[in-house]
Amino acid sequence: MKGTAPVTEKADLQSVLDRAAEGGRITPEEALDLYRDAPLHALGSAADAVRRRRYAGTEHIATYIIERNINYTNVCVTACKFCAFYAPPKAKDKGWTRDLDDILRRCAETVELGGTQIMFQGGHHPDFGVEYYEEHFSAIKAAYPQLVIHSLGASEVEHMARISKVSAEEAIRRIHAAGLDSFAGAGAELLPARPRKAIAPLKESGERWLEIMEIAHNLGVESTSTMLMGTGETNAERIEHLRMIRDVQDRTGGFRAFIPYTYQPENNHLKGRTQATLFEYLRMIAIARLFMDNVAHIQGSWLTTGKEVGQLSLHYGADDLGSIMLEENVVSSAGAKHRSNRMEIIDLIRKAGRVPAQRATTYEHLVVHDDPANDPVDDRVQSHISSTAIEGGTAHPELKLLASN
């Protein structure tokens, strides 16, 4: 593995688990040994011990957020092989773009339903430079200043900077000034070179992705970090992905959370040839908590793995169960069919033995649901409106899907 000496003997797994559970740092080689060979229950127990220590005093709480992923266009030049959402620029019959009025109506619906965050994500449109995002973010903030814009990622920054012929640093400064609050960690996929080139050959390198995130962190713009599991990467490459993030985090402290999620096999060029098992996913949640000792939050992804596995992730080191995503189209296009609503998420967390709490983007507790008698009952707060499949939404049925412009 890059930057490390070869392992000559198998690590004593239990001693490594004990050290990690007590807060000690483990090496990439030790993490790989644990990920491959540690007994599942022991791995989860150690990860949960780390979580409980980190959140001593609130370790009984698990969080969720209400948000909306507004997909502003599906036109994209990167043609990632795992993606079922994009349309190439020349496919005029398949590409679409939402106008600003449509986007603002979706923001209005988010506020009406109690959402606090929007994720503004779409394709790498060949015409959308920094100016496009400045216009849209400033309009959203002017109309709905209470909404946090937690959006985009390093890949979009690289693209918009190239279109506008500016540096990544200037692009980040400008969209931050226009209203972007933090980056969503989009486009990380797999950071090591071999799997990244295999699934996203037209995207920037993993090193460049991290470099842009480091620039953002140094400018005061935090982000999350993600990993796409199950597209043919090796176990060693999964751990290398974690190492690359941890090294940047040691320098910047700007990654707020780590969110692994699993590849969805429908309607894309990979055609489901490889997929991560649910046990591999749970092991990744646990090893992330143990290895990424400098990242505060680990999020379980019930959207791609299912509700029961989401519950289990809370016992394998995760402290957050993600979002009630009022709208989402990207992983839905690839076959993610899991749906839920606010009442069910609260129930899932409670039945996993934790007290549910709605959180802000920066993880402050907004509402702690410590008394079931006071649970919310608005059944409109549901995940999720797949807006490329149906027109409208719960509060604004007049919303229409627009043709590409």
**What pLDDT digit, counting tens, does each position of 337-387 carry?**
445 678 889 999 999 999 999 999 999 999 999 999 999 887 777 665 444
Q: Give the C-alpha separation, 22 to 361, whole Å.
A: 28
Length of the chain: 405
Can you tell me which residue has the tokens 């713009």? 221
The pLDDT of residue 398 is 45
pLDDT digits (tens, 9 = 90+) for 215-242: 999 999 999 999 999 888 999 999 999 9
* Closest by CA position to 329, among listed 121, 115, 151: 121
Higher pLDDT, 338 or 318: 318
Res. 59 pLDDT band, cuts 50 70 90 = very high
Please give the average per-residue pLDDT across 187-206, as a whole number: 92
Higher pLDDT, 140 or 126: 140
39-383 to CATH, choices 3.20.20.210, 1.10.4000.10, 3.40.50.10490, 3.20.20.70: 3.20.20.70
Q: Give the C-alpha separation, 203 to 80, whole Å.
A: 8
The pLDDT of residue 25 is 97
Beta strands in 176-290 (DSSP E): 182-183, 223-229, 255-262
Q: Give the C-alpha separation, 295 to 258, whole Å.
A: 7
If DSSP codes are grouped into helix, strand and coil, which group holds residue 35? helix
Q: Other CB atoms closer than 10 Å to residue 186's CB: what's the count?
A: 20
Please give the average per-residue pLDDT across 84-93, as a whole number: 67
Q: What percent of the chain has pLDDT over 70?
A: 82
Higher pLDDT, 333 or 324: 324
Q: Give the C-alpha separation, 170 to 360, whole Å.
A: 28
- Computed over every residue of the chain, the mean pLDDT equals 85
Peptide linkage before 384 cis (omega within 30 of 0): yes
Ordered DSSP codes for 201-256: TTSPPHHHHHHHHHHHHHTT--EEEEEEE-SS--HHHHHHHHHHHHHHHHHH--EE
The pLDDT of residue 228 is 92
The pLDDT of residue 404 is 34
Question: Which region among 203-207, 230-234, 281-285 has the lowest average model confidence (pLDDT)?
Answer: 230-234
233 within 8 A of 201, measured Cβ to Cβ:
no
* Spans of all domains in the chain: 39-383
Higher pLDDT, 50 or 391: 50
Q: Give the C-alpha separation, 63 to 60, whole Å.
A: 10
Please give the average per-residue pLDDT across 193-207, as a whole number: 92
The pLDDT of residue 331 is 43
The pLDDT of residue 86 is 57
The pLDDT of residue 389 is 30
Q: Give the C-alpha separation, 214 to 249, whole Å.
A: 8
Residue 91 pLDDT greater than 60, yes or no: yes
Q: Give the C-alpha separation, 197 to 213, whole Å.
A: 20
pLDDT digits (tens, 9 = 90+) for 147-162: 999 999 999 999 999 9
H-type helices in 253-364, by residue range? 278-291, 302-305, 307-313, 330-333, 342-351
Burial 289-327 (b: 16+ CB within 10 A, else e): bbbbbbbbbbbbbbbbbbbebbbbbbbbbbbbbbbbbbb
215 within 8 A of 168, measured Cβ to Cβ:
yes
Q: Secondary structure of the chain: what % helix, strand, coil (to 5)?
A: 40, 15, 45
Q: Give the C-alpha separation, 190 to 196, whole Å.
A: 5
